[in-house]
């Protein structure tokens, strides 16, 4: 909210972690400040150069979409009220950064469990499964993603060298039904996202040939 009583409520972008088996919510991560820019790149899935001429217009599946954003995390606001933010007083924004790092690291308990299986002579150990991550950018844009790039620039520190200001760069790849299938909860969310984009496209204004300086197609 802003300081003006009649101003609209500004929602925050963020990430939601779901259990991949039960789809139960494990954690909600709201960005402290919404990034100024969100870069979206869509790579077309066509049949490729070797396709027959009659197949040139066919698509293999949904475009592969990637997202890039820079999030800022700052402890200044919380440090103004130390009684309400004990963790920030003790460790700065390290806890918030650790939550984001958990997106790309397996849990220590899972690593130890796999090590115990290996020590017991288990021949085949399945790779550890991470949480299903949803990128949320408003109510109409909720997509399953995989973190592909992650970097942290710590810019300021308290006397104990805890970070109190940082920039986090995130690269995300949208997971489609090609990755998850139609029956997966993430696949359902991707289809809902794709359908919402189609509804938006249907609302866009249409123009006639005169806007292109044409009377029709030759």
Give the phi and the psi of residue 90 in degrees, each rounded to 5. Answer: -80, -35
Cα torsion for 40, 61, 132, 137, to the nearest 10°? 30
Q: For the ranges 52-61, 98-107, 126-135, which has the lowest average pLDDT?
A: 52-61
Per-residue pLDDT reduced to its tens digit, 101-123: 999 998 898 889 989 988 988 87
Confidence (pLDDT) at 145: 97
Strand order in the sheet with 142-157: 25-30, 14-18, 132-136, 142-157, 163-174, 64-74, 38-43
pLDDT of 49 reads 67
Q: Read off the pLDDT band of 35 (50, 70, 90).
A: very high
Share of the chain above pLDDT 90, in %: 63
Q: Give the confidence band of 7 by pLDDT, cuts at 50, 70, 90.
A: low
Residue 4 pLDDT more than 60?
no
Band the pLDDT of 128: cuts 50, 70, 90: confident
Residue 52 has pLDDT above 90, yes or no: no
DSSP string, 54-107: GGTT-BSSS-EEEEEEEEEEE-HHHHTSGGG-HHHHHHTTHHHHHHHHTTTS--
Confidence of residue 217 (pLDDT cuts 50, 70, 90): confident
Q: What is the dihedral of CA 106, 108, 110, 113, to 10 degrees?
A: 150
pTM, entire model: 0.86
- Please state, rounded to an integer, the average pLDDT across all residues of the chain: 90
Is residue 45 within 8 A of residue 63, CB to CB? The reply is yes
Looking at residue 1, what is its pLDDT?
Answer: 45
Token pair for residue 60? 């293999």
Return the bridge partners of 154, or none.
Answer: 166
Return the bridge partners of 15, or none. Answer: 29, 135
Tokens of 92: 């700065």
Mean pLDDT throughout 154-182?
95
What local confidence, expressed as pLDDT, does residue 91 receive? 93
Portion of the chain with pLDDT greater than 70, in percent = 93
Q: Is 181 left (phi over 0), alpha (psi -120 to 50) or beta?
A: left
Closest among 91, 103, 93, 163 to 134, alpha carbons compared:
103
pLDDT in tens, 8-19: 677 899 999 999
Q: What's the pLDDT score for residue 6?
A: 61
HSE-up of residue 10 (Cα within 13 Å, Cβ side): 11
């Amino acid at each position: 909210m802003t300081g003006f009583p009649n101003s609209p409520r500004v929602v925050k972008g963020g990430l939601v972690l779901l259990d991949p088996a039960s789809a139960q919510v494990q954690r909600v991560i709201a960005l402290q400040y919404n990034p100024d820019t969100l870069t979206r790149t869509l790579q077309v899935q066509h049949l490729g150069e070797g396709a027959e001429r009659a197949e040139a217009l066919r698509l293999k599946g949904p475009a592969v979409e990637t997202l890039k954003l820079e999030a800022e995390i700052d402890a200044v606001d919380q440090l103004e009220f130390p009684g309400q933010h004990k963790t920030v007083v003790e460790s700065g924004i390290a806890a918030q950064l650790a939550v984001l790092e958990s997106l790309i690291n397996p849990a220590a308990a899972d690593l130890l469990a796999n090590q115990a299986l290996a020590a017991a002579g288990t021949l085949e150990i399945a790779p550890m499964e991470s949480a299903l991550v949803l990128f949320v950018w408003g109510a109409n844009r909720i997509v399953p993603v995989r973190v592909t790039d992650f970097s942290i620039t710590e810019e300021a520190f308290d006397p104990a060298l805890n970070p109190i200001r940082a920039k986090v760069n995130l690269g995300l790849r949208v997971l489609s039904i090609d990755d998850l299938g139609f029956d997966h909860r993430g696949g359902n969310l991707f289809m809902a996202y794709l359908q919402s984009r189609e509804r938006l496209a249907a609302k866009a204004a249409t123009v006639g040939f005169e806007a292109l300086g044409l009377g029709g197609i030759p």
